[in-house]
Amino acid sequence: MGAGFKGLDRRQLATAERSPLTLGVEEEFLLLDTFSGRNLPVADTVLARLTGQALEQSRHEFRQSMIEMVTPVCSNLTQLREHLAASRAVAAAAGAAIGARLVAVGATPVAEAVIDRPAAERYERIIRQFGPVALDPALCGCHVHVGVPDRELAVQVCNHLRPWLPVIQAIAANSPFHEGADTGYASWRSIQMERWPSLGPTPHFASAAEYDHTVEQLITAGVMLDVGMVLWYARPSARYPTVEVRVADVAPTVDDAVVLAGLVRALVATVIDDIRAELPAPRLRGSLMSAAHWRAARDGLEGHLVNPLTGDLQPAWDLVDDLLDFVGPALTRDGELQTVIAGLERLRVEGTGAERQRRVHRRTGDINDVLGYLAAETTGNAAR
């Protein structure tokens, strides 16, 4: 891939003095029974065992079989890696103490016999409004936040990100199994999530005012309960002064999460350069965007992706190379180019999380072997 990188002269590095954008990551994990592989509704017990910073960085999620770990604000990928590794290790230890595996996988791989959720009125309202959709098996994502404190700029950033997010989705594919069987999709989480009416490619907005007005209309229509239910693949965060990219399955390893976050931050920095240069965001057909995301969910990096700019079907790695070409100057400016190139080279050799899971399953035929491998990947203890 290094030989394929050719974008350093595409932009002048005149903005090299600009400070790197801040970033942070939210990771959702499943708690699985060590023997059956089923989801365990033990989040309360696991979270109660956390203390100090680990407790501060933890959250309940929509299921008692899930927990979320959140990094502090970071300025570089080295800091991010340290926080991700530490939070995964302490959460895994807390789970192991009560017989639960902490597993970084995008969708429930076996079964969720008990659909328990935290006792909160908001969750009850979601279930009343959306019915069985809200009772689907648990799903786990990785949400990357990049600091963009100007909200008008954040909306424009989301416009410019749209053609690249299917590639990010493909890179992050990590959920091929459902009910113990291979679905044929690299990201089954993406397919399950499509049942939510407020999820999908981010629409194009002319301004923050248009964004806010549209969200208000969708809340009035009942498609969303509140601004927290804007589930588009990129959005100005409702909590933080950031752009939040939420298209990815949770990453199987810390290294995978670091590469994902590095690419997303570089993408945001690159499109900010384009916006300041008054380059317009591509206006893309909704049908092509939907096709591009569906193909990313189906193939991951092991097949072909739709180029939403042209509608052409291309080898997935050609579009990854295009992405690296596009964001290379930003990665160079922030000193992260070699880290991201090395991570992508590893994915090219080893495959996405989805492909690595399938490789274990092809070898053993046992879904629980896959889950044991994933649990080891989650904390960095898998054999290579």
Q: What is the per-residue pLDDT across 348-378, written as a single tens digit (0 to 9) for each?
A: 999 999 999 999 999 999 999 999 999 999 9
Domains along the chain?
Answer: 2-379 (3.30.590.20)
Measured CA to CA in angstroms, residue 282 lies from 6, 16, 97, 155, 308 at distances of 22, 26, 51, 14, 10
Can you point out the beta strands (E) in 195-319? 199-200, 231-232, 234-236, 242-249, 304-306, 313-315
pLDDT at position 16 is: 45
**Residue 114 scores a pLDDT above 90:** no
DSSP for residue 112: -
Mean pLDDT of all residues belonging to the chain: 93
**Residue 12 scores a pLDDT above 80:** no
pLDDT at position 3 is: 33
Task: Give tens-digit pLDDT for 15-37.
Answer: 445 789 999 999 999 999 999 99
pLDDT at position 11 is: 46
pLDDT (mean) for 143-156? 97
Q: How far is CA 317 from the centre of its chain?
A: 19
pLDDT (mean) for 254-261? 98
Distance CA 204, CA 281 (A): 9
Owner of token pair 């399955």? 249
**pLDDT over 70 percentage in the chain:** 94
Measured CA to CA in angstroms, residue 154 lies from 21, 26, 97, 146, 240 at distances of 13, 19, 42, 10, 11
Task: Give tens-digit pLDDT for 40-72.
Answer: 999 999 999 999 999 999 998 888 999 999 999
